[in-house]
Structure formats: structure tokens, C-alpha cells
Structure 1
Amino acid sequence: MGQMVPPRSIQNEDFWKNPWDVGGLTVIGLFTSTFLLFVLFAVVFGYVEKAVFEEE
């Protein structure tokens, strides 16, 4: 019979210990959230402007 292999941790602790990796993830998250907020702003502003022109 073969030996059982111990299960590896799903989350890599080395990633969270490296400040450059965490900083890169933070920057990517900020860019993504900023982009989504700009899209949300454009959609909301488009609907508001459309509603204002329909009232006139």
C-alpha cells in the first residue's frame, strides 16, 4: 500500500507575508473598485439626465 500524502494548506501563507504581493493586490482591488464606481456613476447620471429631459 502507498503512503498517504498530508493535505496541503489551501491558502498560501507566504503570499500574505510578502508586502509587495499584498500591496499589488490592494492596488488591483482599488483600480477595480474605482472602475466599477465610474460605471455606476455613468449609469446613474445617464438615467437622471434622461429623466430630466423627458420632463421638459
Structure 2
Amino acid sequence: MALSTHWLSHITAWQHSGLSQEAYCRQHQLAKSTFLARLPEYRAQAKSVSQEPPVL
């Protein structure tokens, strides 16, 4: 299942924010446990995208 755009945008924003996961979640009123549960989905999705062969 693909990661929702909601979580995709939050994880991307967190990575560029310079904040800790805890600080980002607190600032955006997100449950840290839910945020942490989405990270493996994000990583799996990013890995599958990077392993796709180029289209010619």
C-alpha cells in the first residue's frame, strides 16, 4: 500500500526541518507513535522507487 500524501509530505518536511522527530511531531500535533510507524513505509516506498529501472 502506498504511503498517503499526508504522511509523505510530513516525513519529507521533517527531514528538511532540522528538528528531531519528537520536536517535529509536537510542533505539528502529530502522534509520535504514528509518525514512527509510517517511517518504514516511507523507506520501503523510497527504496522501491530508487530500484526501478530507467525507462527508455
TM-score range (shorter-chain normalised) is 0.3 to 0.5
Looking at both structures, which has the greater relative contact order when contacts are Cα pairs under 8 Å and sequence separation is at least 6? 2
Larger helix fraction of residues = 1
Answer with 1 or 2: which has the greater Rg.
1
